[in-house]
Amino acid sequence: MNNNITERLKNGIITENPTFVQILGMCPTLAVTTSAVNGLGMGLSTTVILIMSNLMISALRNVIPNRVRIPAYIVIVASFVTIVDFLLQAFLPELSESLGGYIKLIVVNCIILGRAESYASKNPVVPSIFDGVGMGLGFTIGLTSIGLVRELLGAGSIFGFALPHYQPIGIFVLSPGAFLVLAFLIAALNARKLKKRKSTETNDTVCRMEDCLHCCNTACGGKFFDFDGEDAEETAATQQKEVEQHE
């Protein structure tokens, strides 16, 4: 169970991050991330709705008829969106005003409906809850990161605190700035993944010819190991000589 929970959290935050990997929920991602506070508020609101909707849909997965599952999911999600919207209006009116109608649009957010259809409707309650936590935190991290960069570059502040002696670049708080920041962040993450993958492939191509059975060389594919019952060491030695002659 612990491994499954850890897997769901890692999947949502890193492996299948909805913002930087799956590129889902782009409407609020590009529209409300003019500041880090807006991104954080939108992300946490979506996280709460994800958790509660996953919980409810998973608990009712054997009750909801298959033919009306999508309308049922929308009704469940809309109920929790309404509750969160009212709570924001009551306790965080400034944030509610900043986010505007995008809170209500969570009802049709493809992240919410996607997790309901692909995971919560097919799995028990506890894993579904942590799937919602992982995806919600991944979405929150994505929105907050974009909002932080846009606020820093476009307004010269961080979480509302102005930086002295800094001339902001206004384009980053406009619509083009959202696309630019998102593109650069995705490119940076992809470059890091590619570098890590190349490093792993390089390590795997180091051949241990003296011990083919336990070799980690994925490029070799076991060609040094004799599957016909002959002496593996002789096969490895012969192959080594051939390599040296070729060099």
Residues 114, 152: one domain? yes
Least confident of 6-10, 65-69, 87-91, 196-200: 196-200
What is the structure's pLDDT at 243?
A: 56
Q: Match 């570059």 to its residue by tokens.
A: 153
What is the structure's pLDDT at 199?
A: 77
Residues 68, 115: one domain? yes
Residues 82, 184: one domain? yes
Residues 138, 211: one domain? no
Residues 237, 139: one domain? no
Q: Match 């935050």 to its residue by tokens.
A: 13
Residues 29, 52: one domain? yes
What is the structure's pLDDT at 87?
A: 96
The predicted model gives 141-162 an average pLDDT of: 93
Angle at 144 between CA 141 and CA 150, to 5 degrees: 140
Banded pLDDT at 226 (limits 50, 70, 90): very low
Residues 119, 217: one domain? no
pTM value > 0.85: no
Query: What is the pLDDT of the chain when averaged over all its residues?
Result: 85
Residues 192, 210: one domain? no
Residues 211, 180: one domain? no
Q: What stretches of 67-124 show up as alpha helix (H) in DSSP?
A: 69-91, 93-99, 110-118
Residues 149, 235: one domain? no
The predicted model gives 181-206 an average pLDDT of: 82
Give which of 174, 128, 132, 130 is closest to 150, Cα–Cα.
174
Please name the amino acid found at residue 55. L
Residues 101, 148: one domain? yes
Q: Which residue segment(s) compose the domain that 235 sits in? A: 205-246
Give the separation between CA 179 and CA 169, rounded to whole angstroms. Answer: 15
Residues 21, 62: one domain? yes
User: Are β-strands 161-162 and 157-158 bridged in parallel, bridged antiparallel, or unpaired?
Assistant: antiparallel
Whether residue 126 is predicted with pLDDT greater than 60 in this model: the reply is yes
Banded pLDDT at 53 (limits 50, 70, 90): very high
Number of domains in the chain: 2
